[in-house]
A and B are shown apart, each in its own frame.
Chain A
Amino acid sequence: MKHRQQPRNLTWSILFALLFLLSQDFLFWNGEIHTGPWGFPLRVFYFLLLQGLLVALLVGFLAGRSGNDDPGPD
């Protein structure tokens, strides 16, 4: 069980690290200004999307980990 858990943890770690990398905004660092709905810069929607992705990742990652309320062995 522990052996199967480790590759899965690695996958989740990579996904979270990738999201962090995307938040560094290096793709659009020197980009031109584009505005979207309500006149907000598109960059604001990009970060809204990243935060939505973070919630989705957390939901997936934490699913199945909440059932164990037993503090476990010493």
Chain B
Amino acid sequence: MLAGNNFFYLMIGAYALLTLVISGYSLRKEKNTPEDYFLAGRRVGTFVLFFTLIATNFSAFFFLGFAGAGYRIGYSYYGTMAFGTAFVAVAFYLVGSRVWKAGQRHGYITPPELIGKTLNSRSLELLYLGVMVVFTLPYLALQPIGAGYIISNLTNGDIPYFVAASLVTGFIVLYVYLGGMRTVAWTDVLQGIMMFTLISAALFMVAGGLGGLEQANARVLELEPGLFTARGLHDYYTPGKWFSYSLLWFLSVPMFPHIFMRFFIPNSTAALHRTITLYPLVTAILFLFPITIGVLGHIDFPALEGKQVDQVLPMMLAAYTPYWFEALVMVGALAAFMSTMDSQLLALSSMLTRDVYQRGFRPTASHRAQVLTGRILVAVLALIGLALAWKPPATILEIATHAFTGLAVLFPTTIATLYWSSTRPGACMASILVGEALLLGYATDVIPTTWSFGFLPVVPILAVSTLILVIGSIRRPLRRKIRE
């Protein structure tokens, strides 16, 4: 195992070195302005935009969670997850095209800035900011937690969990601090390519070890036919649940601040549109691989339960691939953690710099001062994430599980701001506050789950918050010119 550990350290070292080389390369182009540090000067082309969008969106859940869900639910998970995520491309167009234009026209850098200034409401801007921070910060804390566990497991505890989490976080801070969005986007290219190639190779090697994909699938069909049905194993899906998940990705993914901010960075609408068109191709092909490995896990590990299920990918790799390959895939998973965390850090830091520090305390802050504040905040936020990872409080994990619904509540406000000239800021605030209050009600069981009518809570919550926004704006229409 010592030789194996050495190989893992070598892989990690090589990956870190490559990341630093990319950071150094992107640093050469840097100018000391907030637009350059937070948005790579709005000059990102199709190739980098495509990879940064997918690497940011697909965290390590893509490696470990998808395989676990494939094991737990079966191939029906591919239907909701792959098509549901692919359809997000339509939401990317609806939100992204208008956000890009507004950013070019008015120089907006953060999502709350766009919403607040378009509707001329500082209170709405702060509320929008608050929701984004509350639901992104716990999600950010999950990244060092996951990275810490991966390294600790692979080295058999030679590197303890929290030391590993600290090392990964420190490294991320280093390259985000130095290069901002340009470095993050370029390292995402490396991380995205690693994700693609490693998970594809993993499926071929596992299937080869099982005597071929057709034979392996036939064996699983005999063992657990439920894995091949529409409802999934043990009737996991109901039509209401299926619909809710399809809707949840569509409404929430563009509202994650680290995704939203990517709509500001393309160098042209053509780059944005090409990326949107390519996006469903990735989900169509790539999502099938980890889910299939998870399904095939029933052949060798038929009785996994609880947290063990999310370990099915490393277990299958250990069973059917050499140690060096398992280590390589886990470095890929680590890359996925890092590509999400670096973007979250930068997005949160840019919002706190622009919407709190600059707008609230120092309106005359120079570009240099804003960039310096952004850099300091990257380090501070990383420390907060690490502190939460030390002994993760239950509430943090609870909030993280509700992050998708919590952020989806911002979707009606965002669409109305971008498309509807009668939108009133007061109606938006009421829509957001009531939406979040309902989510709290469902999460704490104050509102019984029967009141979601067979759907996940996101469906009734979004119906109510949209209704409030529409009625509030129609009752007292505010004519304004949409600032595209």
Contacts and interface: CB of A to CB of B under 8 A. Distances in A.
B105 A25 contact: no
Interface string B70-90: 000001101100111011011
Contacts of B105: 71-72, 74
Given A25-B79, A54-B87, A69-B268, A44 B288 contact: yes
B154 interface: no
B270 A40 contact: no
Interface string B431-465: 00000000000000000000000000000000000
B214 A39 contact: yes
Contacts of B276: 58, 62
A58 B218 contact: no
B75 A39 contact: no
Given A55-B277, A69-B269, A71-B105, A43 B239 contact: no
A58 B443 CA distance: 37
Contacts of B281: 51, 55
A26 B239 contact: yes
Interface of A is mostly: helix
B357 to A, nearest CB: 27
Contacts of A61: 93
A28 B105 CA distance: 48
A10 to B, nearest CB: 15
Contacts, number: 117
A18 interface: no
B89 A33 contact: no
Contacts of B84: 23
Interface stretch (B21-29, B224-232, B332-340): B224-232
Contacts of B214: 37-39
B242 interface: yes
A29 B276 CA distance: 30
Contacts of A48: 284
A19 B87 CA distance: 9
Interface string B281-294: 10110001000100
B273 A51 contact: no
Given A38-B213, A40-B217, A74 B481 contact: yes
Contact of B269 (A23, A30, A59, A68): A68
B484 A23 contact: no
B402 interface: no
A26 B274 CA distance: 31
A7 interface: no
Contacts of B213: 38-39
B228 A41 contact: yes
B280 to A, nearest CB: 5
Contact of B75 (A43, A66, A68): A43
B242 A71 contact: no
Given A24-B243, A69-B270, A71-B105, A38 B217 contact: yes
Interface in A5-55: 16, 19-20, 23-26, 28-31, 33, 35, 37-41, 43-44, 46-48, 50-52, 54-55
A65 interface: yes
Nearest to B266: A69
A25 B241 CA distance: 12
Contact of A23 (B246, B273, B481): B246
B280 A55 contact: yes
Nearest to B92: A58
Given A25-B242, A48-B284, A66-B273, A33 B82 contact: no
Contacts of A41: 75, 228
A18 to B, nearest CB: 12
Contact of B284 (A39, A52, A69): A52
Given A24-B243, A50-B83, A65 B273 contact: yes
A66 B90 CA distance: 15
Given A24-B243, A29-B230, A31-B230, A43 B79 contact: yes
Contacts of A66: 268-270, 273-274
Contact of B89 (A24, A54, A65, A67): A54
A19 B84 CA distance: 11
A43 B230 contact: yes
Contacts of A67: 270
Nearest to A30: B230
Nearest to B218: A39
Given A48-B284, A54-B87, A62 B79 contact: no
Given A26-B239, A71-B484, 20 more contacts: A29-B239, A30-B230, A35-B218, A39-B221, A40-B75, A44-B79, A47-B79, A51-B86, A51-B284, A54-B89, A58-B90, A58-B93, A59-B277, A65-B273, A66-B269, A67-B270, A69-B268, A71-B101, A72-B105, A72-B484
Of all A-B residue pairs in the complex, the 6 with the closest CB atoms, nearest first, are A39-B217, A51-B284, A71-B104, A71-B105, A66-B270, A39-B214
9 contacts: A28-B230, A33-B225, A35-B228, A44-B79, A51-B82, A54-B86, A58-B93, A66-B268, A69-B270
